Chains A and B, each alone.
Chain A
């Protein structure tokens, strides 16, 4: 059974600081997604990482994937208040079912 673990679960940081969220998964997969969720809302797709070594950047967020280590990171650069949200990573279980299995989420609070 695939397990997806994120840490930290909660992150409070000051504006302007940098930080990294980690996502570990337990079985082979080379397809990983990052989502953002605002309170009471649905999911907003941020990144899809499809191969080992993939790196994608959008604004102050950068995501990477190491399939050998079964690890993805979401790096936040010079955080701003608007980035406050919950961030989820999700891993595809297999190509036949394409089930997405989610991590527990990281609740990010950026303080002024």
Chain B
């Protein structure tokens, strides 16, 4: 049973819409991450968080934003979706010790 949950699983949305991808974990992990992955390609880190009220941009520039108001919740928001945002978004978390990363099932986003 998954301890990290992502919703929605699939999303098709029109250009210019605002969207929020949800990610929640029940393990009490301090660290959370968002990765972007095009089909069959490598995963790129776009955001990460050390803990509540702590967020940083990752190695791949992204127009999305994140927040971390509660330990268990790390949503990702796109203010104005574009076709170039079409991708799979994977959320992950790890404990303070950094041993063991748990990945969510992912959100497959299509912007038309």
Interface residues of chain A, those whose CB is within 8 Å of chain B, are 1, 31, 33, 39-43, 45, 48, 50, 86, 88, 90, 92, 95, 97-105, 107
A99 and B45 within 8 A (CB)? yes
* Contact yes or no, B41 A104, CB < 8 A: yes
The verdict on A100 contacting B42 (CB below 8 Å), with A43-B103, A45-B101, A92-B98 known, is no
What 4 pairs across the A-B complex have the smallest Cβ distances? A98-B98, A104-B42, A102-B43, A43-B103
Among candidates B48, B104, B106, residue contacting A99 with C-beta atoms closer than 8 Å: B48
A100 touches B45 (CB 8 A): yes
Please name all residues of chain B whose beta carbon is closer than 8 Å to the beta carbon of A92 when the two chains form the complex. Answer: 98
Q: Is the CB of B31 within 8 A of A42?
A: no
Q: Is B24 close to A, CB under 8 A?
A: no
**1/0 per position for B74-110, CB-CB distance to A under 8 A?**
0000000000000000101010001111011110100
Q: Which residue of A lies closest to B2 (CB)?
A: A42
- Minimum CB distance partner of B101 in chain A: A100
Q: Are A31 and B106 in contact (CB under 8 A)?
A: no
Number of chain B residues close to chain A: CB under 8 A: 26
Identify the B interface with A (CB < 8 A): 31, 33, 35, 40-45, 48, 50, 56, 58-59, 90, 92, 94, 98-101, 103-106, 108
- Name the distance in Å between A11's Cβ and chain B's nearest Cβ: 14
Residue of B43, B56, B98, B99 touching A88 (CB-CB under 8 A): B43
CA distance A39 to B39 in the complex (A): 8
Q: With A and B bound together, what is the CA distance between A74 and B104 in angstroms?
A: 24
**Which residues of chain A have C-beta atoms less than 8 A from B99's C-beta?**
48, 50
Partner of B48, one of A50, A97, A102, A105: A97
CB distance from B11 to the nearest CB of A (A): 14
Residues of A within 8 A of B59 (CB): 1, 99, 101
Contacts of B40 in A (CB 8 A): 39, 86, 105, 107
